[in-house]
Structure 1
């Protein structure tokens, strides 16, 4: 079968009509990581009968224990179809071993570092090859953390990024027991007995997560931990980020609280930084939680139109919501450094 890409082997594994939408599913085999067995599923949603009209690309990344169905239900409902019907070229990525992406040989050792260093750059390159317009990126929870890591680690080419939206994403919540080395070591020993964390058993979602992600999180939150990999400090690198950023938190989110989501945004050096909290105090009909912020009937009417407006204007001004526009960081130079 002929590859759909000049970059690396890509197979179009399905092409379906879903009502008024077209659905193309690609499987990428980039071969850019130490585990050569990695394959990545990428779903493109377009308007049926208008496949040749490519709008601005929007790339959606689901969170932990999740897959493409977070954005796109079998009945054609979700933020993905909503944006496709609005004229955007929608791409839904599934990281290695999730959803339609088969489990790679070293699945249990997968880490966010692998998503950041290898998977996102390959996905970005293929989407740019298919549609060279500058793309918007949107991530929920772990998907947003992955985007933040890719930006802070300079693994995503900012020249190809129109904006980044982070929903319920943070890295600053402190788990004090993990600051005690014996607790962290004990946690590593306990988790090391498993190969995966079951989303169904933990009632967190339909997907499993490799134990490598949990061990990596322990390192981030340990006594001398940092948000990064062995080569780069992603947290420090966020100071150099220049792309427009939107951070959205939910007032009822107990997992990723609003103050921590805002702290991630404040760490970034972008000139355009906007923060929105979904709750009654800020003019919304209810205090959204971690999932309802994007997947609920009320999100369809109160949140999705705001996302569409942000993608079109890189601002929430004029929408009537009480968002916070952050001033530029005082410690960031006006022009990017030559380094």
Structure 2
């Protein structure tokens, strides 16, 4: 990465080009955005733009959003491997977002309070606006796990609409798995009090990934899953709002995913109107080579052979490959 910070052109908010590099056959531009649109003005977000050297511009823009305890390396390894490089080599204009305090994005002043509500209401719309400004068209979105949940929140809260989302793909994303102890109010309240003693959840200590997560996310999740909880914030019911979505939404679930089970992933997309919702199960019963797992659905040799082409087909044509088409539309 170049040490110099270069000013970048944007009429939306301050943006710095942190570096422009050639990584083998890939071009890598790293931007730091300072939207200034949230109650915490210190928030800065980093986007990595990938292209294929010599391919020129004009590719369909797609934004990749990582899950919890993760960063851009989920999509783009230091060796130039991953779904991000695959899509760039296929001609897409690839943007990889890193949430507040993850990867190259610095921790904001009120980092411990960060919630999905903040990502959905403030950060994703700012990212969408910048990518649209740079590419000249509405981007497609792909989110994994918490990244997909955040995208669902943004859709349900009407923070992203068809001006800033050409389509949305949710991989291993759900909010319906039941944690029965949290349905007992004293246990939920006690859990919140206990968690407030901490600043972060450590990804390394929990063996969940390379990044930490702010404790605000955990407290927010407890509220969603409580006895009278709902997928939303104090102002909006995101779950109910999904019924008003007018953007194509694809939910992809993995049969071997025990963290975010297929039935729950399907239940999330079933909130979207029938004309816009699609579902795909990655399972032997559906013609795939294995029952994929939560991570393996996007990061594995089998995913490279079978899932990445599915993503490219969806982004380029707005539908699933013919093999998957029969069960794609949730009716």
TM-score range, shorter chain: over 0.9
The alignment status of 1:164 with 2:204, answered yes or no, reads: no
1:286 aligns to what?
290
The alignment status of 1:37 with 2:42, answered yes or no, reads: yes
1:335 aligns to what?
none
2:261 aligns to what?
257
Per-residue deviation, 1:135? 1.3
> 2: CA distance between counterparts of 1:210 and 1:320?
38
> 2: CA distance between counterparts of 1:33 and 1:126?
16
The alignment status of 1:46 with 2:76, answered yes or no, reads: no
The alignment status of 1:19 with 2:24, answered yes or no, reads: yes
Per-residue deviation, 1:270? 5.0
- The one-character-per-residue Cα deviations of 1:173-201 (angstroms, maximum 9, x if unpaired) are 11111010111011011111110000011
2:7 touches 2:17 (CA, 8 Å); kept in 1?
Answer: no
1:245 touches 1:270 (CA, 8 Å); kept in 2?
Answer: no
The alignment status of 1:177 with 2:181, answered yes or no, reads: yes
Per-residue deviation, 1:4? 2.6
1:119 aligns to what?
123
Matches within 5 A, 1:296-311: 296-311=300-315
Per-residue deviation, 1:54? 2.1
> In structure 1, the residue corresponding to 2:22 is in which secondary structure?
strand
2:328 aligns to what?
324
Across the two proteins, how many residue pairs are aligned to each other?
326
> 2: CA distance between counterparts of 1:256 and 1:190?
25
Per-residue deviation, 1:88? 0.4
- TM (normalized to structure 2)? 0.96
> In structure 2, the residue corresponding to 1:161 is in which secondary structure?
coil
2:76 aligns to what?
72
1:154 aligns to what?
158
2:280 touches 2:324 (CA, 8 Å); kept in 1?
Answer: no
What is the aligned counterpart of 1:238 among 229, 237, 242? 242
1:11 touches 1:28 (CA, 8 Å); kept in 2?
Answer: yes
The alignment status of 1:295 with 2:299, answered yes or no, reads: yes
Matches within 5 A, 1:152-231: 152-231=156-235
2:168 touches 2:250 (CA, 8 Å); kept in 1?
Answer: yes
- The one-character-per-residue Cα deviations of 1:223-279 (angstroms, maximum 9, x if unpaired) are 111111111110000000011111100000000000000000101125132111111
1:7 aligns to what?
12
Q: Which runs of 4+ in 1 moved over 6 A?
A: none
What is the aligned counterpart of 2:132 among 113, 124, 128? 128
Unaligned runs of 5+ in 2: 1-5
Unaligned runs of 5+ in 1: 328-339
> 1: CA distance between counterparts of 2:322 and 2:266?
22
Per-residue deviation, 1:322? 5.8
Root-mean-square deviation (CA), in Å? 1.2
> In structure 2, the residue corresponding to 1:83 is in which secondary structure?
helix
> In structure 2, the residue corresponding to 1:160 is in which secondary structure?
coil
- TM (normalized to structure 1)? 0.94
